[in-house]
Structure 1
Amino acid sequence: MTKRERGYAAIVVEDNGKGMDEETKNNLFERYYRGTNTDDKTEGVGLGMSIAKAIAEVHQGKIKVETSIGRGTKLLLTFPYMHP
């Protein structure tokens, strides 16, 4: 979903999946952090969220995560709204 709020453009990505524990949430934007046991066969190397954060910051934006176990995850990206 996209929306405009108080001088900001926002992108909201939300799911109703299993959610994340506090440790995963706190490390989500760290490079190479995957939040899984490294012995598990999972896809990815843990760069996606750190890249998303870097892109947001380069555009003077912010990225925030709201999550809890069993209730899913919501990512909110906000960017200053630029008038043409």
Structure 2
Amino acid sequence: RELTVFSHIQRNQEENLSDLIQKVNNLDKSPDVREIFIIVNNHFMGFAPESVNLLKKRFNLPFYQINQQKKLSDYF
């Protein structure tokens, strides 16, 4: 189904997250890899900020709790 609202997690991607974390951990062991970037968008789980927080929690990184997606007008 298409997602039309991007304010909360709507898709369970636990299996994909676990796979990604395993791959990143394997890459991190390589002396040839200096940086690893993970790009996340709303279509992955339905709410990119919380998707990023889930990843950060799994990697024991600091994260910010975000309750809703901001609008562009919130910055003016």
- Using the size of structure 2 for normalisation, the TM-score is 0.28
Indicate the structure with greater strand content: 1
- Using the size of structure 1 for normalisation, the TM-score is 0.26
Indicate the structure with greater helix content: 2
